[in-house]
Amino acid sequence: MLVGGVSFLDPAPAVFEAMLEGWATQQRARFLKADTIRARIDLVRRFASFTNQYPWQWQAAEAEEFIAGLRSGQRPVMVSTARGYQNALRLFLEYVTDARYAWPAVCQERFGDVPAQILHEWNTVAHTSEYEGRPGRRPLSYDEVQALLDAADARVDEIRSRRRKGAVAAMRDAALLKTVYAFGLRRREAWGLDVVDLRRNPRAADYGNCGALFVRFGKSSRGGQPKRRTVLTVPEMDWIVPVVHQWVSEVRPLFAPGSHPALWVTERRGRLSWRGINEAFEEARNAAGLPEELDLHSLRHSYVTHLIEFGYPEKFVQDQVGHSYASTTAIYTGVSDEYRNRLVQQSLRQRHADLWEPQQ
């Protein structure tokens, strides 16, 4: 990364920038996403600014103070965020301390010091729990889902009654939220849907082209391409069929999308943004009077939970939502007390069929 035979007036910042560029190149070779690389580079710069030193001068105490500072203030970082920061810094230091990249030799020659790995098991977050997200994020109950979707529909009538613009966009948002819930989609998955992703299921011909949904922008892992899967329309969610049919045949053409392939389009004939999807949920959530801790991803938690309560096997649910491991699906599940009591009653009936009499 350093140009040979060049004498820098200020070599320290030149070496540091070369380190960052080399690390970015290494990550691009692993096919990591550009956003991931950019976030990591920004974090290293942020840490360097915090310490006012260069990597070959960093000490373990400075990394500890950096993370400790992030835990204070009005918006302290979550455990998972802190771990992500620590992992990024540790990866950078693994790169600059690896002799195969020659940075230790360069630093020793120019500065008389070498970078060291300052993050280790004694000053990094231990992974003790499978779920470290916000405690407020949870599945919605059936009543809460109904209230949310009703609020989205009511917004259409409200805009029309006031004779304001935006009724068509509100209809889109309502159909979008219903689709996210009925198929258990992530935000990016809903964003990337095209009209051609609506598929027929020969085993459910009555659903037409809404018998299944082909998801092409599933969550990728370790620099891989987005994972693909087909989500089948389950009978308990068949109310989504007329919703999608109406959206595609009647409402979407009002946006005059032309040849644009996106399922969810805007007034400017473009694909609805991630921010627009978030705002659609937030407006419906606030109108329904639901807690602010709930976000769009809570609908995915709700989908998993409700499929389990409907009696679908865990493997089926896992495949529907595209989880690699059953343990991940289990984290999403938050079955109700009513469901668990029903299982207990079923077990009692099976074990004591001759004695069991249901309470009146």
Same domain for 309 and 193: yes
Question: Does residue 186 form part of some domain?
Answer: yes
Nearest Cα neighbor of 191 from 169, 217, 226 is: 217
Helix (H, G, I), strand (E, B) or coil at 265: strand
DSSP element (H, E) containing 351: helix 337-351
**Mean pLDDT (whole number) for 104-115:** 94
Confidence check: pLDDT of 286 > 70: yes
Q: How confident is the model at residue 126 (pLDDT cuts 50, 70, 90)?
A: confident
Confidence check: pLDDT of 129 > 90: no
Question: Does residue 42 form part of some domain?
Answer: yes
Question: Does residue 18 form part of some domain?
Answer: yes
Q: How confident is the model at residue 76 (pLDDT cuts 50, 70, 90)?
A: confident
Same domain for 87 and 187: no
Same domain for 104 and 150: no
**Chain centroid, CA 339 distance in Å:** 28
Q: How confident is the model at residue 360 (pLDDT cuts 50, 70, 90)?
A: very low
* Predicted local distance difference test score (pLDDT) of residue 357: 57
Same domain for 150 and 93: no
Confidence check: pLDDT of 130 > 60: no
Same domain for 338 and 280: yes
Answer whether 218's CB lies under 8 Å from 229's CB. Answer: yes
Same domain for 225 and 314: yes
Question: Does residue 151 form part of some domain?
Answer: yes
DSSP state, residue 72: S
Question: Does residue 94 form part of some domain?
Answer: yes
Confidence check: pLDDT of 86 > 90: yes
Same domain for 177 and 35: no
Would strands 198-199 and 212-218 be described as parallel, antiparallel, or unpaired? antiparallel
**Listed residues 111, 132, 164: the one ending a domain:** 111
CATH code where residue 62 lies: 1.10.150
Same domain for 96 and 216: no
- DSSP alpha helix (H) spans, 75-216: 79-97, 103-111, 142-161, 167-183, 187-191
Question: Does residue 131 form part of some domain?
Answer: no
* Predicted local distance difference test score (pLDDT) of residue 8: 67
pLDDT, tens digit (0-9, with 9 covering 90-100), for 140-175: 999 999 999 999 999 999 998 888 888 999 999 999
Same domain for 254 and 202: yes
* Predicted local distance difference test score (pLDDT) of residue 165: 86
CATH code where residue 257 lies: 1.10.443.10
Domain that holds residue 304: 142-347
Question: Does residue 79 form part of some domain?
Answer: yes
- Put residue 5 in one of left, alpha, beta given phi > 0 → left and psi -120 to 50 → alpha: left
The mean-pLDDT minimum among 89-98, 190-199, 241-250, 311-320 falls in: 311-320
Answer whether 208's CB lies under 8 Å from 179's CB. Answer: no
**Chain centroid, CA 218 distance in Å:** 10
Encoded tokens for 133: 């997200």
Number of domains in the chain: 2
Phi and psi at 228, nearest 5°, equal -115, 150
Encoded tokens for 158: 């409200």
Helix (H, G, I), strand (E, B) or coil at 262: strand
* Predicted local distance difference test score (pLDDT) of residue 336: 60
pLDDT, tens digit (0-9, with 9 covering 90-100), for 298-347: 999 999 999 998 889 889 999 999 988 776 677 666 666 666 666 666 66
* Predicted local distance difference test score (pLDDT) of residue 214: 97
Q: Give the 3-state DSSP-derived string for 191-239, with helices as H, strands as E and coil as C.
A: HCCEHHHEECCHHHHHHHHHCEEEEEEECCCCCCCCEEEEEECCHHHCC
Helix (H, G, I), strand (E, B) or coil at 2: coil
Same domain for 165 and 292: yes
pLDDT, tens digit (0-9, with 9 covering 90-100), for 174-191: 999 999 999 999 999 999
pLDDT, tens digit (0-9, with 9 covering 90-100), for 31-68: 888 999 999 999 999 999 999 999 999 999 999 999 99
- First-last CA distance in the chain: 79
What totals of helices (H) and strands (E) does the chain contain, helices first? 14, 3
151 contact partners, CB below 8 Å, separation of at least 6: 284, 285, 287, 288
Same domain for 273 and 194: yes
**Listed residues 111, 130, 155: the one ending a domain:** 111
Average pLDDT, the chain: 89
Same domain for 203 and 85: no
Question: Does residue 242 form part of some domain?
Answer: yes
Phi and psi at 232, nearest 5°, equal -80, 145
Answer whether 306's CB lies under 8 Å from 236's CB. Answer: yes
Helix (H, G, I), strand (E, B) or coil at 313: coil
CA gap 158, 151 in Å, rounded: 10
